[in-house]
């Protein structure tokens, strides 16, 4: 997990922020598998804050 809040508080340059965001996005899965594996969904979005 990449902590963006702390990086922003440190006054990151625009270029460094773009690199950090790119790294964070690269860690995300291409898509969720809710339909393929519904048994793995154990909570609703309201429980996760979404």
Q: What digits encode the pLDDT tens for the residues 1-50? A: 888 898 899 998 999 999 999 998 898 877 766 666 666 656 666 666 65
Q: What is the DSSP letter of 39?
A: G
Q: What angle do CA 16, 5, 25 make, to 5 degrees?
A: 60
pLDDT at 1 (0 to 100): 80
pTM beyond 0.85: the answer is no
Q: Which residues contact 41 (CB under 8 A, 6 or more apart)?
A: 34
pLDDT at 31 (0 to 100): 72
């Amino acid at each position: 997990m990449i902590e963006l809040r702390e990086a922003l508080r440190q006054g990151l340059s625009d270029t460094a922020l773009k690199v950090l965001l790119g790294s964070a996005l690269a860690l995300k899965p291409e898509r969720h598998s809710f339909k393929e594996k519904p048994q793995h969904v154990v909570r609703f979005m309201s429980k996760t804050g979404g």
